Amino acid sequence: MNDKFKLLQEIETEIKICTKCPLYKTSNCSVAGEGFYDAELVFIGEAPGASEDKTGKPFVGLAGKLLNKNLDSIKITRKDIWIGNIIKHRPPENRNPSIQEIKACETYLKRQLDIIKPKLIVTLGKFALNFFLPETVLSESHGKLLTKADLNIYPIYHPAAALRNGEFKKAFVQDFLQIPAIIETISSKNN
């Protein structure tokens, strides 16, 4: 079995029995993340919602449908990417995750990204952006390639925010269309 795949599976097993914060008590199941273990492109969201909590899979609800539609627009499929969240159990009523919950969960995503080593991390919404770059403001930085240590980070609005607000939707779609060019820029820098 591929080493990266196996290591990711081991983390998923740990997440399933995680009690580092109280969210395991109020959620139905964990959502570790899913996709290609060797993906160049990774999407990071905030936390599972109701549909994700039912299925154990990330972005399978309405926000996920909008994400899939925009992936189609750049001819990328969910099989090509890896997708996960900063929080692995659903916060009750989809409330914002607390600082303590983010801290308790952070080791999982850091380890997952260390294994996958993506070329580009697309953060969806403020919480995912601030996980990597705590001081960065989403409204000023969306659609711009940022770096932190050896990570390339491309912040865009969260698809759930895009569903609620026409301006955010416009920015989400435009920023999404730039993703192939951003990957190209990173590849040419690395060569």
Binding site for ligand URA (CB under 6 A): 45-49, 52, 58-59, 61, 63, 85, 160
Q: Least Å distance between CB 159 and ligand URA?
A: 8
Nearest-approach distance from CB 57 to ligand URA, in angstroms: 8
C-alpha count within 13 angstroms, C-beta hemisphere, residue 144: 10
Q: How far is the CB of 1 from ligand URA (least distance, A)?
A: 26
Nearer to ligand URA, 6 or 103 (CB): 103
Q: Where are the alpha helices (DSSP H) in the chain?
A: 3-16, 23-26, 50-55, 62-73, 99-116, 126-132, 138-141, 159-164, 166-177, 179-190
Answer yes or no: are the C-beta atoms of 107 and 113 closer than 8 Å: no
Closest approach of ligand URA to the CB of residue 173, in Å: 18
Nearer to ligand URA, 12 or 46 (CB): 46
Select the residue whose beta carbon is closest to ligand URA and give its number. 45
Question: Cβ closer to ligand URA: 6 or 92?
Answer: 92
- Give DSSP secondary structure letters for 61-83: SHHHHHHHHHHHHTT--TTTSEE
- First and final CA of the chain: distance in angstroms? 30
134/149 with CB nearer ligand URA: 134
